[in-house]
Amino acid sequence: MASLASKSPPHLFVSPSGQALSRWLEAFPRLQCLKIGAGLPARDTKTLVWLRLDPDQAAPAQVGALMAKLPGALLIVLADQPDDEQALSLFSSGIRGYCNAHSTSANLRQVAQVVQAGGLWIGPGLMNRLLVATSKALAVTPPPAAAGPDPRLASLSPRELEVARLIAGGASNKEVGRSMDISERTVKAHAGAIFEKLGARDRLHLALIMNGRDPAPTALSGSSPGQGGRPAKKSAPAKASRSGGGPPRKIAAAGS
């Protein structure tokens, strides 16, 4: 008898029409697409479930109904018109990713990679909001008395340090390039070197490092140099966080 894994589609898409977009098929040729409300097939724990929201229905209700049928599913929400407030409310419901329904096939594969590695995928707007809020909170909270500049910062060149400060402050790659009068491609190259040298998992982690607040500077794993969720070289993706001090969940966002 065939195993459950062999029967389960690696990617299950659920949409209002039941039809897969060409970009979805390009990204995942073996996907299965069903109409919202249709009977759901057997799946294993590795199957990613992608829900394209029906704009005429409340998003939380759609997510809740699907999660009730598929408890514990790795659920990624696809929105025709992504909205940060909607994303925040849905992440509180337990989704693992939120992105544009019309994302490129390459971007969809990146989303899948991050979620399968135990991370979360959020959009650039929401990521920048989190960075700005984090920077403001750190600015008004004094660091521990014994804390000083993170010794890893000495590995950065003056140019990389300037890029790192801007990114940690919430600037997108485009905004960093505009501020420093360099191309976005050059910013991405600097960011790649910064994230690899510092072992930063994501931009939020970089903000903690830049402010001397990294709780575990000796036990790090790398992540995306930009906002795209691509793992840094020579580094394993971070796993989901645990209350007992395990590695924090990796957070990645779409390109700036």
Q: Which of 116, 135, 152 is the last residue of a domain?
A: 116
Radius of gyration of the chain (CA): 19
Residues 130, 247 within the same domain: yes
Quick one: how many helices (H) and strands (E) in the chain?
Answer: 10, 7
Q: What is the DSSP letter of 64?
A: H
Paired tokens of 72: 């514990």
Residues 131, 243 within the same domain: yes
68 to 36, 79, 107, 135, 253: CA distances (angstroms)? 13, 20, 28, 37, 27
pLDDT score recorded for residue 244: 34
pLDDT score recorded for residue 98: 95
Least confidently predicted of 69-73, 204-208, 210-214: 210-214
Residues 35, 112 within the same domain: yes
For the chain, the domain total comes to: 2
CB 49, CB 14: distance < 8 Å: yes
Q: Which of 116, 146, 180 is the last residue of a domain?
A: 116
Mean pLDDT over all residues of the chain?
79
Residues 242, 190 within the same domain: yes
The CATH number that applies at residue 175 is 1.10.10.10
Helix axis angle, 173-180 to 184-198, nearest 10°: 110
CB 88, CB 68: distance < 8 Å: no
Residues 111, 131 within the same domain: no
Q: What is the DSSP letter of 16?
A: S
CB 109, CB 76: distance < 8 Å: no
Residues 152, 222 within the same domain: yes
The rounded distance, in Å, linking the Cα atoms of 239 and 90 is 21
The CATH number that applies at residue 72 is 3.40.50.2300
How many other C-beta atoms lie within 10 A of the C-beta of residue 117? 19
Nearest to 161 by CA among 138, 133, 191, 186: 191
Residues 88, 142 within the same domain: no
Residues 112, 135 within the same domain: no
Domain that holds residue 54: 4-116
Residues 109, 135 within the same domain: no
Q: Which of 55, 81, 116 is the last residue of a domain?
A: 116
Interval 207-241: pLDDT, tens: 888 887 775 554 333 333 344 333 333 333 333 33
Q: What percent of the chain has pLDDT over 70?
A: 77
Q: What percent of the chain has pLDDT over 90?
A: 46
Torsion of CA 243, 248, 254, 256, to 10 degrees: 120
Interval 140-183: pLDDT, tens: 776 665 556 778 899 999 999 999 999 988 888 899 999 999 99
pLDDT score recorded for residue 114: 87
**The pTM is what?**
0.64
| Residue written as token pair 């969940």 | 249
Residues 212, 158 within the same domain: yes
Largest CA distance in the chain: 63
pLDDT score recorded for residue 143: 63
Residue 246: band (very low, low, confident or very high) from pLDDT cuts 50, 70, 90: very low
| Residue written as token pair 């097939």 | 41
